[in-house]
Structure 1
Amino acid sequence: DKTNKAYFDELQGVLGDEMESYSNLFMSKEEMEACIREIKEVLADYDLKNAENFSSQISQISDQGEMQRIKKALEDARALYNNIRFAGEYELLESMDFRKLGTLYIEASNHLALINAKNALEHNEEIGNLLNMALEDIVFGFRKIGESELVLAGELIDILKRTREGLASNFDTKDPEWISLYEELRRLFDGKNLNEVSQDEMKTNITSLKSIHERIKELNRRNDLLKDKYNGDPKYARVQKRLLEAGRPSKIKTAIIEALQKVKEQTDIAVLDRNDSLHNESYFGRIVAKLVLNEFKKTIDTNMDFETVEFIRDLIVEEYLNEYHGKIA
């Protein structure tokens, strides 16, 4: 009608070349009917009337591609609902329960997020992103919990959140102890959905998570103490840990701390004096190597060999370059 035509003309004037992206707003009735048939075909195997049963059905799906297909169909249904109303083809609203499909879309989105999280855990990918995801919301956000499970589930959600946040706040993901704790968390997701465990399994998971949480708290406490040795700079805290792990150039902690503090002080000044020094890795590496050789000679009893100087230099240079380029350590 004239109102829709006026709106179309106004929209085209505003969007210009991007108008094509919005062409779905102006689907014909035949296109809408075809879209409805396609959505129904994709979702034919599932209970679209009972959200709880639908949630139970899709919770058995572990294939990411299949879940993406279901979510896409429900997403299309949401968009189609708006298109039908916009076009005034109200009789088509009777062809599906669009409001119910909107609820099912949330269920599907949550389960796909859980699959994605599990895949990331299982393949040890995207650690930073994974730990910043609210796993506890993904796991329990779409499950109807019975009264008898409510307290346990609440406790599990809370400890999972605190454990995840504790791991995410750690600044040294190369620490073998951190890696071990992360692996323990990852294993809780292996082979089963946390949202389907029994009460006994829930209690076991709570115990496991409490143990991980206490240990990550202690690790973070020690890391913070270490960071304070370098005026809150995590770069040198990580370098110190790598040196002590390698036993190079010494196993004496005080000697390493004293030398690194001096190296940090002078390296920071060098970077401030020449803002472009980090643009030239070779030049910056020579500065750091000289400082490492000079300062470590003062604090350790043995002579510094070339390989050890290179080892320390490379650790420090990598830290500065990662910081400069905004990379997560």
Structure 2
Amino acid sequence: MNLLEELRSRFKKLNIEEMGSADIAKSIEELDCMRARVDELNRENAALVKKYDGDEKYARAHKRAMRTPPPLTTSPSKMSAILKRVKGKVDGMVLSNSGIIGNKSYFQRGISRILAESCKAGSVKCDAAQITGLASYIASEYVDERGKAA
């Protein structure tokens, strides 16, 4: 979103009708730099989604978990390993009982348990607030995805 905000503010400042050729060239150069940053961000996001077998929910959860202080771990590879274990178990839980998503608090508690087990298996120390926050986010992602599918 920072890139989008930067682009919006850049266009608000521009008065294209009064710009000279040097100003236009400079603006084009700045826009090309922004496009390169967007392309790099898109590449990184696509690589992250690929780590989770195309599941964007977990790519978003990964990014959120890494930037929410304090993160479960500062290691992206450890975070991926934790969330992959969670994904496998939660997807299995949902496949065996799709109605579980309808009871968000129960679903969230199940995700919390799975997340805590996954952190323990990955030798990552975490506290209850971290587990609850990330489990709530993951549960919301499933609920939102189900709402979009309906």
1:82-112 CA distance string (max 9 Å, x none): xxxxxxxxxxxxxxxxxxxxxxxxxxxxxxx
The letter for the 2-side match of 1:259 is: I
C-alpha contact 1:250 1:300 (8 A) present in aligned 2 = no
Structure ID, larger Rg: 1
**Percent identical across equivalent pairs?**
30
SS at match of 1:248: coil
Name which structure has the greater RCO, CA cutoff 8 Å, separation 6+.
Answer: 2
Corresponding residue for 1:229?
Answer: 51
Is 1:273 matched up with 2:96? yes
Corresponding residue for 1:283?
Answer: 106
1:234-263 CA distance string (max 9 Å, x none): 111111111111342111222211110011
The letter for the 1-side match of 2:71 is: R
C-alpha contact 1:239 1:316 (8 A) present in aligned 2 = yes
C-alpha contact 2:72 2:124 (8 A) present in aligned 1 = no
Give the root-mean-square deviation of aligned CA atoms. Answer: 1.9
**1:326 positional shift:** 2.4
- The 5 Å alignment of 1:76-91 reads none
The letter for the 2-side match of 1:215 is: R
* TM-score normalised to structure 1 length: 0.42
Corresponding residue for 1:103?
Answer: none
List runs of 5+ in structure 1 lacking aligned partners. Answer: 1-178
Distance of aligned partners of 1:227 and 1:195 in 2 relative to their CA distance in 1, 3 Å threshold: farther
Q: Distance in 2 between matches of 1:300 and 1:194?
A: 56
Q: Distance in 1 between matches of 2:45 and 2:17?
A: 33
Corresponding residue for 1:187?
Answer: 9
Q: Distance in 1 between matches of 2:12 and 2:145?
A: 34
Q: Distance in 2 between matches of 1:254 and 1:191?
A: 41
- The 5 Å alignment of 1:233-252 reads 233-246=55-68, 247-252=70-75
Is 1:216 matched up with 2:38? yes
Corresponding residue for 2:127?
Answer: 305
- How many aligned positions are there? 148
* TM-score normalised to structure 2 length: 0.88
**1:194 positional shift:** 3.9
Distance of aligned partners of 1:295 and 1:196 in 2 relative to their CA distance in 1, 3 Å threshold: same
Q: Distance in 2 between matches of 1:197 and 1:286?
A: 58
Q: Distance in 2 between matches of 1:240 and 1:267?
A: 15
The letter for the 1-side match of 2:44 is: R
C-alpha contact 2:112 2:131 (8 A) present in aligned 1 = yes
**1:281 positional shift:** 0.9
**1:265 positional shift:** 0.9
Distance of aligned partners of 1:195 and 1:317 in 2 relative to their CA distance in 1, 3 Å threshold: farther
Distance of aligned partners of 1:185 and 1:249 in 2 relative to their CA distance in 1, 3 Å threshold: same
C-alpha contact 2:111 2:139 (8 A) present in aligned 1 = yes
